[in-house]
Amino acid sequence: MDIVDLHTHTIFSDGDTSVDEILEVAKGLGYKIGISDHVFCSKMTTMKAIEEYLDRLTEYNVYKGIEANIGDYTKWSDRVLGKLDYVISSIHTYNDNIDERTWLSAYFGYRAGHRKDYVQQYDSSDNKYILEGILDTVKKTFQKTRVDILGHCTVLPFYEQLLEDNYIESWEEELLTLCEKYKVAIEISGLWKEPNQNFIKHALDKDILFSFGSDCHRKSEICNLKYPLQIIKKLNISEDKIFTI
């Protein structure tokens, strides 16, 4: 089985490393690489910038991808779609009970060990309300724009706080049903060590594929696929369940 790290970030967006540095690490491990820099929330905020980025990637032996935001209902031009190998879309924001869109950047930085503290900006009593809103936004995103992979889908403070609540099982079922219906793969993330085993076992009962992603932003994180590979081995996930391009 080819090991492909499809979730990587470079100096084209908010990563610290170049494509060449990622390829150097990948070569030593025998992995293949996809580059999936952020769009519409970092350096690339226009279609022209995204096209230029994809053109630059043709200079390298990599799969050409992007990471978009769940909730951005982008209508991609045929020209851009023709240059893309895959699209990751991830939950980077949430809407609170007054429908204000809030970014999860501080939480992600804290969770990844990139920052020392994180101040919760919502009331925990709203956890279920927020997660219901996320399901609705995921559904609309799948309906309105191209999504091949759902990135780090359980890296959410609201999800973590409700892990012992019976509600989470039904929330997971709804999310996975959407992925199955719209043929969207689930990412198993090296950086986040998510989703957890129970979630993945749940996903295995459905017609859903899995992708590997380090979600590297720093050199030390490049091609860190230890967790995905452990999960594949432990749960005996067959090669035909792995997302390919």
CA distances from 184 to 6, 37, 194, 198 (A): 14, 19, 17, 19
Q: Is the predicted pLDDT of residue 97 greater than 80, yes or no?
A: no
Residues in CB range of 166: below 8 A, 6 or more apart = none
Looking at residue 40, what is its pLDDT?
86
Amino acid at 71: G
Average pLDDT rounded to a whole number, residues 68-75: 92
Burial 157-181 (b: 16+ CB within 10 A, else e): bbbeebeeeeebeebbeebbebbbe
Amino acid at 14: D
Write out pLDDT tens, residues 194-231.
999 999 999 999 999 999 999 999 999 999 999 999 99
- The residue behind tokens 């990563």 is 15
Looking at residue 101, what is its pLDDT?
87
Q: For the chain, where are the E strands, in sequence order?
A: 4-5, 32-38, 63-69, 86-90, 93-95, 101-103, 149-151, 185-189, 210-213
Residue count of the chain, please give it: 245
Average pLDDT rounded to a whole number, residues 81-85: 95
Q: How confident is the model at residue 120 (pLDDT cuts 50, 70, 90)?
A: very high
Q: Is the predicted pLDDT of residue 104 greater than 80, yes or no?
A: yes
Query: What token pair was written down for 50?
Result: 């995204």
| Separation CA 167–CA 179 (nearest Å) | 19
Write out pLDDT tens, residues 2-16.
999 999 999 999 999
| Separation CA 22–CA 15 (nearest Å) | 11
Average pLDDT rounded to a whole number, residues 127-142: 97
Q: How confident is the model at residue 98 (pLDDT cuts 50, 70, 90)?
A: low
Share of the chain above pLDDT 70, in %: 100
Average pLDDT rounded to a whole number, residues 67-92: 94
pTM confidence score: 0.97
All domains of the chain in start order, with CATH: 4-241 (3.20.20.140)
